[in-house]
Amino acid sequence: AITRNPFADLGSALEAEVNLPNNIKFTGIAQVGRKKGVMVSTPMGMDIFYIGQKVSDGFKIILIDTKNGQITLSNGINQTLVKLEED
């Protein structure tokens, strides 16, 4: 599991070429009990998205892997893996 300040900027790497806006940054993963959320920074501010919620351009979060610091997104046709990287 990633143990760091979730409000500090965190790099992320996409496994495939997707059309996610470059102004969206995945900054961390939070878990309270069994509920997992992804911290996302946009020009509008910071927000937490959960499995099943739409992040951008039709992409929804379908899996949050807290152990490996990975998020799987899908637009219904393509899936992409976002790996969070520690600074």
| Structure token digits, residue 52 | 């099943």
Q: Is-contact 14 46, C-beta < 8 A?
A: no
Other C-beta atoms lying within 10 Å of the C-beta of residue 22: 5
| Structure token digits, residue 45 | 């501010």
Whether 3 has a pLDDT exceeding 60, the answer reads: no
pLDDT at 71: 93
Mean pLDDT, to the nearest integer, of 68-81? Answer: 88
Phi then psi dihedrals of residue 34, to 5 deg: -95, -5
Phi then psi dihedrals of residue 65, to 5 deg: -105, 100
The pLDDT tens digits for 15-27 are: 445 567 677 888 8
Q: How do 11-14 and 79-85 pair as beta strands?
A: antiparallel
Enter the pTM of the model: 0.73
